Amino acid sequence: MDTDQTASAKAAADRVLELEAELEAAGEAKVDGAPLERARAALHRWVDEMTGVVVSPALGRVTLIHPNGRFSTISSPELPFTMTLPDKNRSS
């Protein structure tokens, strides 16, 4: 990650931590180095183990279905659109 990306990531992480502190909920940020790599590896394993996914662009949400039947949601204005491919079988 270049210096500008690292600075932007740290600024974004600081904003999230400040919001969590207002809710009296602790958080921790990992924006570079080995801690970020460990977090990225854990996230990849978590995603790789999913057994299904529901993509809801209109809601800005992706729901991952896990092997135990539970689910986790990711709220994002961009991720659902990134995951949605045009349906070639759907008529316009």
Q: What is the pLDDT of residue 87?
A: 65
Rounded Cα–Cα distance for residues 92 and 88 (Å): 10
Q: What is the pLDDT of residue 78?
A: 94
pTM of the model: 0.69
Q: What is the pLDDT of residue 62?
A: 94
Residue 77 DSSP label: S
Q: What is the pLDDT of residue 89?
A: 60
Phi, psi values for residue 18, rounded to 5°: -65, -40
Going residue by residue through the chain, which has 92 residues, state the pLDDT in tens, using 9 for 90 and above. 578 878 888 888 888 888 888 888 888 889 999 999 999 999 999 999 999 999 999 999 999 999 999 999 999 999 999 999 776 665 54
